[in-house]
Amino acid sequence: MEKWETRWNENKLRWHKDAIDPLLIKHLGKLHEKDKDDPISTSPKKFFVPLCGKTLDIAYILSLGYHVFAVEGVRKAVDTLNTENNFGLEFHEQDSIFKTLDGKLQIYLGDLFTCPFEKWAPFDYVWDKGSLTAIDEESRQKYKISMQKSVQIPGSNDYHNFKYLLRTVIYDKSKSEGMGPKCVSETDMNDLYGDWTNITLLESVKLPEGHILRRNINIGSVCHENIYLLSPKSINE
C-alpha cells in the first residue's frame, strides 16, 4: 500500500479521469437486463466498486438510485473523494467504514485482500475499472478470492446472481516497460474468471497512438481496452 500512499501524497494520479467512464454509461444497461428476470425484487441493488480512488463513477452510480460499497486502501483518496463530491462521509472506526448519513454509500478503508466481505456481501453488481489492472501479477490469485467473496452468499460456496462489468487493457507485455495498468490477456481472463463466471466480451476498443493510456504504459505497439460482462457459472455448466 506504501507505493499507493506515495502516489496520493505526491498527487501523481495519472489513472484518474475527470469524467464518468463512457464505457460504464454505455454498458450499464446490460446489468438492468437481469432485473427483468427478477421483477419481485424492490430493494435497491448494491454495486461493489473495488479500489475506487476518487472516481466520478461512484456519484454517477448513486445518482441512478443504486447503493454503493467501495474499497480503498489510502485515506487521502477517500478524503479527497468525499470533499470533491460533497458526500458528507463519516468514519466509523470499529468497522473501518466511511458512510453517508443515508447509508447509500459505504467505503471500506483498508486492504482489499483482508476486507471482511461477509459483513456486507453479496453485491448485485461489480464495476471493476482500474482495479484488477492495478494489481501486481503475483497478487492476482488473492484478487480472485476477494472478488469471489464479494458476490458469494456468506456462509456458503454459492454465488449470488451477480453481474460484473470489468474493464481491462491488453497489449504486448514484451514491448512495454512495465509501467501503468497491467495487461490482462485472454489467458489471464480464463485463469481468473473462467472457472466461476461466464465471460462475455462486450467491446474491444483499439487505442489510438498518443492515447493517455498508451502513454501511461509507455507502449508504442497495439493496445486495446476490453470491457467484459461476467455472470455466475451455474453448477451444470
In the complex, the residues that contact ligand SAM under the rule CB under 6 A are 4, 15-16, 51-53, 55, 71-74, 77, 111-113, 129-131, 134
Nearer to ligand SAM, 1 or 40 (CB): 1
- Distances in Å between the Cα of 105 and the Cα atoms of 90, 132, 153, 209, 229 are 10, 22, 21, 38, 23
Q: Based on CB atoms, which residue is closest to ligand SAM, 55 or 106?
A: 55
Rounded least distance, CB 86 to ligand SAM, Å? 18
> Which residue's CB is nearer to ligand SAM, number 55 or number 197?
55
* Minimum distance of ligand SAM from residue 223's CB (angstroms): 17
- Measured from the CB atom, the residue of 130 and 232 that comes closer to ligand SAM is 130
Give 133 or 232: the residue with its C-beta nearer to ligand SAM. Answer: 133
CB of 37 to ligand SAM, least distance (A): 29
In this complex, which beta carbon is closest to ligand SAM, that of residue 111 or of residue 186? Answer: 111
What's the burial of 192, exposed, middle or buried (CB within 10 Å: 0-12/13-18/19+)?
buried
Distance (Å) of CA 125 to CA 35, 41, 68, 156:
11, 14, 9, 19
Q: Which of 196, 223, 228 has its CA nearest to residue 211?
A: 223
Q: How far is the CB of 25 from ligand SAM (least distance, A)?
A: 14
Specify whether the CB–CB gap between 224 and 161 falls below 8 A: no
CB of 234 to ligand SAM, least distance (A): 30
Name the strand (E) or helix (H) holding 150. helix 140-151
Under 8 Å between Cβ of 34 and 66: no
Contact 107, 100 (CB under 8 A): no
Count CB neighbours of 65 within 10 A. Answer: 9
Q: Could you identify the residue written with the cell 466511511?
A: 98
State the minimum distance, in angstroms, from the CB of residue 168 to ligand SAM.
12
